[in-house]
Structure 1
Amino acid sequence: MQQFRFPQLIDLKQAYQRIMAYIHRTPIMTCSAIDEIAGCQLYFKCENLQKVGAFKARGATNAILKLPPELRQNGVATHSSGNHAAALSRAASETGTKAYIVMPSNAPAIKKAAVKSYGGEIIECEPNLKAREKTLEKVVEETGAAFIPPYDYMDVIEGQATCALEMWDEGIPFDAIVAPVGGGGLLAGTALATHFLSAKTPVYGAEPKGADDAQRSFKAKRIIPMEKPNTIADGLLTSLGERNFILISKYVKDIFTVTDEEIIAAMRLVFERMKLVIEPSSAVALAVVLANKEIFKDKNVGIIISGGNVDVSKLPFR
């Protein structure tokens, strides 16, 4: 496995200073009704209220702003099924450059629409990683755009870590933090920031059973790529990135999985009790707490609601 230089606390703080004019400082919200059900005090970090409706705005913006001007002038490119695509498109627009986005043909319509609304150019491909990467190679070759990976990239991890910086800046004595994991940028960044600011506080990953490569990789101590993931949490279909895996292995306490039924129930709870629009991937962290009440009993638990880009005409409940 490659050797990497991982960001230090000063790097995370500099990333926050770099991006703060381009993002929201999102609120932390509570809900006594859900606390009662969960048996603990929950603090929801609402990245569904972030620019582009997801935490991905942080990493994409940091990555573009760190590009030297000569590398930025031909635009940026990536492959993404949704939130990173929209985030990169917006960040490119905000910094005066172009975004080329390779998206699987089955990506949610709402996420394709978001990319277009931010000025991103969509190039569709077959819905598998090999097709994504091959199409992206062609786009980069033809345009000269700089590739910004969706999660397995240090500047992106650094940006995602600013979410946890904000959480700790609130002065809440978290006993645990739970974040969803797909490619692993958010979980890795959260664990890294928490290691620097409160090393004794455990960070847990939350993952769908139908896309459980992070949990299997974590337990096996080696990356086990996901084949044919199947879950309603479409934002968590991606296999764990190498850089993220190293950080998660080092700084994450454990990774738990939940069923789609548990994810839908948690999502519905947030809609009904908190009046917040969240996507299925965002409900996975709450679902994990509800499924493991004995671990979180009577604790102050931070939960990252990762995004709110759900097609409300296709909600998984009535």
Structure 2
Amino acid sequence: MVSRSAQEAAPVTPSAAPVQAAPIVTIDDVRAAHARISDRIVRTPTMISRTLSQLTGATVYLKFENLQFTAAYKERGALNTLLQLSDEARAKGVIAASAGNHAQGLAYHANRLGVPATIVMPRTTPIVKVVQTEGHGATVVLEGDTFDAAYAHARELEAERGYTFVHPFDDARVIAGQGTVALEMLEDAPDIDTLIVPIGGGGLISGMATVAAAATPPVEVVGVQAELFPSMYNKLNGTDLPCAGDTLAEGIAVKVPGGLTSQLVAQLVREIVLVDERHLEESVSALLQIEKTVVEGAGAAGLAALMSHPERFRGKTVGIVLCGGNIDTRLLANVLLRDLARSGRLARLRIRLQDQPGALFNVARIFDRERVNIIEVYHQRVFTTLPAKGLITDIECETRDALHLHRLIEALRAAGYETTQVELA
């Protein structure tokens, strides 16, 4: 948890008054953006979660931006930018470098407005994202093996063909569009006193913090980054934590935050908290089980911050943005199964047996007596350090809860079986 006070302003000499630079984005910019885009996007609901409120000790409001047509808030900034282009710029078309929600949001609204859109993606982009973006009417160009290579190629095409480059976060028009999320939240739930906002490049939090600062009274804003990609945290606090790894929150896995957004976050955001992968996984699962809504890792980051720092937010009225719902179905299934395992409802037990008739049958009888469902059985006779007549059996099973699992393990051990639970990281 990092306080903005670490970023002290440079001293001003008494002989000259400081020159006040014009604000990058103002509350009037955000209000104008909302008037511009409101009839072309979904006004997603802001709803109280009574269950999450009980679990965390805060009053929790959720903003369901995963219900936008492209399942992410990115539509707002992209549309606000498109609507401010000149006729000439619209005719030539727009370009972006993105393999995520920005690509789909820009492609979708450009197609609706009749603006040609080109999206440059790394060659490593999953085919499903390419197909989805093309489905919104964009021309997809695959270039390079990294985002940086795709970005560089997009800027080359911008210069060669006269396209307008639409940045995913470091643009005042995009920032103002993203700020409309907070405008709607505070209109729908005016008692919110704290906003918890995910940070990747910083566009969403910059726009929302602009709105929060103009509220009466001002609303506190807390940023959230994945522990594996603390880029804005590093920039504002002079730290050098590594930015790398396979994070579930790929939508906010940004190595270099924006220049404009960094200024706004330094001015308006009180602190940034980091969340680990386990809390991100648990939050994705909790939102599906409790709210019956699907979010991606970045979309669950706000709840992950609340769940991992409950004492920080206890007693507050908190607004959380579920900023996106584009998660691969296989990844979602894996996250849910891992959560079941952590809660004790799914387990793998490693049991040492004698290699003789009836050995597995006798173990199965204990599972039956304890009313535990066996899902899979794995025998290992060869690749083991046990004697030739020894064998290891892994049994995946389904229990009611952790207490039920504990009773099963104790019953197996009481029957003389050496039993260990295979733990998750």
Class of the TM-score when normalised by the shorter of the 2 chains: over 0.9
Partner-residue secondary structure (3-state), 1:48 = helix
1:282 matches 2:299 = yes
1:23 is aligned to 2:41: yes
Task: Tell me how far apart the structure 2 counterparts of residues 7 and 93 of structure 1 sit (CA, whole Å).
Answer: 27
Which structure: greater helix fraction? Answer: 1
CA contact (8 A) 1:211 1:230 kept: no
1:146-165 aligned within 5 A: 146-165=164-183
Deviations 1:36-94 (A, max 9, x none): 22111110001000121100000000001011111111110011121000011011111
> Larger RCO: Structure 1 or Structure 2 (Cα < 8 Å, ≥ 6 residues apart)?
1
Q: Structure 1 residues 122 and 97, CA, compared in 2 at 3 Å: closer, same or farther?
A: same
- State the distance in 2 between where 1:16 and 1:200 align: 20
SS in 1 for 2:248: coil
- Give runs of aligned pairs for residues 134-149 of structure 1, distance below 5 A: 134-149=152-167
Aligned to 1:246, which of 250, 253, 263?
A: 263
Equivalent residue number for residue 250 of structure 2 = 234
Q: Is the 8 A contact 1:4 1:243 kept in 2?
A: no
Q: Identify the residue that residue 169 of structure 1 maps to in structure 2.
A: 187
Aligned partners of 1:41 and 1:299 also within 8 Å: yes
The one-letter code of the counterpart of 1:148 is: V
Percent identity over the alignment is 30
CA contact (8 A) 2:230 2:241 kept: no
Please give the secondary structure, in 2, of the residue aligned with 1:30: strand
Cα 1:305–1:127, aligned 2, differ >3 Å: closer, same or farther?
Answer: farther
Instruction: Please say which structure displays the higher CA radius of gyration.
Output: 2
CA contact (8 A) 1:28 1:45 kept: yes
Q: SS in structure 2 opposite 1:163?
A: helix
Question: Quick check: 2:194–2:318 contact (8 Å CA) kept in 1?
Answer: yes
Give how far 1:5 is off: 4.4
Residues 45-56 of structure 1 aligned to structure 2 (within 5 Å): 45-56=63-74
Residues 254 and 107 of structure 1, relative CA distance in 2, 3 Å threshold:
farther
TM (normalized to structure 2)?
Answer: 0.71
Contact residue 110 and residue 309 of structure 1 kept, 8 A: no
Say what the alpha-carbon RMSD is for the aligned residues. Answer: 1.8
Relative to 1, partners in 2 of residues 1:225 and 1:66: Cα closer, same or farther, differing over 3 Å?
farther
Contact 2:81 2:174 in 1 (8 A): yes
CA separation of 1:226 and 1:92: change in aligned 2, threshold 3 A: farther
Cα distance in 1 for partners of 2:42, 2:243 equals 35
Unaligned runs of 5+ in 1: none
The separation in 2 between residues aligned to 1:199 and 1:86, in whole angstroms, is 36
One-letter code aligned to 1:235 = G
Matched, 1:317 2:336: yes
Partners of 2:116 and 2:138 within 8 A in 1? yes
Q: 2:146 aligns with which of 117, 128, 137?
A: 128
Change (3 A) 1:229 1:139: farther
Confirm or deny that 1:264 pairs with 2:281. Answer: yes
Post-superposition shift, 1:215?
A: 1.2
Compared CA separation, residues 129 and 198, structure 1 to 2 (3 A): farther
TM-score normalised by length of structure 1: 0.93
Counterpart Cα distance in 2 of 1:176 and 1:269? 21
Q: In structure 2, what is the equivalent of residue 295 of structure 1?
A: 312
Alignment equivalent of 2:120, drawn from 72, 96, 102? 102
User: Secondary structure, in 3 states, of the residue corresponding to 1:73?
Assistant: helix
1:72 counterpart = 2:126: no
Aligned residue number for residue 191 of structure 1: 209
The letter of the residue matching 1:249 is: A
Conserved 8 A contact 2:225-2:272: yes
The one of 72, 83, 107 equivalent to 1:89 is: 107
**Long gaps (5+) in structure 2:** 1-20, 338-425
Partner of 1:117: 135
- Using the TM superposition, give the Cα deviation of residue 196 of structure 1 relative to its aligned residue in structure 2, in angstroms: 1.1
Higher mean C-alpha displacement, 121-130 vs 235-244: 121-130
CA 35–107 in structure 1, closer or farther in 2 if over 3 Å, else same: farther
CA distance in structure 2 between the aligned counterparts of 1:30 and 1:112, rounded to whole angstroms = 35
Shift of 1:137: 2.3
The equivalent position to 1:57 in structure 2, one of 75, 84, 90, is 75
Q: Distance in 1 between matches of 2:58 and 2:110?
A: 41
